[in-house]
Amino acid sequence: IVVALFDKNVQNNEEHNLAVESTIGNSSYQHSKINQWMSGIVESSLSQLTKLGKPFKYIVTCIILQKNGAGLHTASSCFWDNSTDGSCTVRWENKTIYCIVSVFGLAI
Amino acid sequence: MEEFHSGDEVSFSPDEGSNVVKECIEGIIGGVDYSQNKVNQWTASIVQHTLTQLVKQGKPFKYIVNCAVMQKSGAGLHTANSCYWDTTTDGSCTVRWENRTMYCVVSVFAVAIAL
């Protein structure tokens, strides 16, 4: 897995820039590797975020879904401080996999 | 009678959170089959309703509620969460629910507010 970063800036009143770039690349869905991939994605996103050194708590969630025609719907609702907190969601896919990563940043 | 020391920090109780979530899910999609037309409404209702119930508890937390509904069709679905926070006060809970035609996964994250 190559983990790439999307940049999104956030600091207090500014918008939070989150860098998350994750390449599962040309891999096909493989049940045995999923756990590794997910841990890799989530942990590297989190460490890139904490490296930014901003006064935030972070929550990173990742969903990986095999493409076989099933319907998937997700929703999030947040109770926080609109002026300082924010989130971003990245949707990624290849031939056999959908991957959705969400990051929530909460100001300390 | 419980003594309450106002200087103590409150920490998130995952069990209570789970109960709130389970009731909300049952109330909204308890006996129904997966329907593409309705699923957007369902996910929105589940998160809004859960959030309202949590906020009503009046505790000093910010909340994030996440809900995923998937049709049962043999596809593999995996989810993972990672959190960078204060482990003494913050917490999360995840509830997995299913019926004949769909799976529902709801996660609640509670982050303490510094008072």
What is the chain A residue with the closest CA to B52? A79
Going from N- to C-terminal start, the domains of chain A cover 13-107
SS (H, E, C) chain B: CCCCCCCCCCCCCHHHHHHHHHHHHHHHHCCCCCCCCCHHHHHHHHHHHHHHHHHHCCCCEEEEEEEEEEECCCCCEEEEEEEECCCCCCEEEEEEEECCCEEEEEEEEEEECCC
- Provide the pLDDT confidence category of residue B97 given band limits of 50, 70 and 90: very high
Domains of chain B: 14-112 (3.30.1140.40)
CATH of domain A13-107: 3.30.1140.40
Contact A68 B107 (CB under 8 A): no
Would you give the DSSP letter of residue A98? E
- Which residues of chain B make contact with A32, given a CB cutoff of 8 A? none
Determine contact: B20 vs chain A, CB below 8 A: no
Query: What is the per-residue pLDDT for B105?
Result: 92
The rounded mean pLDDT for chain B is: 85
What is the chain A residue with the closest CA to B72? A70
CB pairs under 8 A between A and B: 143
Query: What is the per-residue pLDDT for B95?
Result: 92
Q: Which residue has the higher pLDDT, A16 or B71?
A: B71
**ipTM reported for the complex, 2 dp:** 0.71
pTM over 0.80: no
Q: How far is CA A75 from the centre of its chain?
A: 15
Q: Is A18 a residue whose pLDDT tops 80?
A: no
Token pair of B56 as six digits: 């009503």
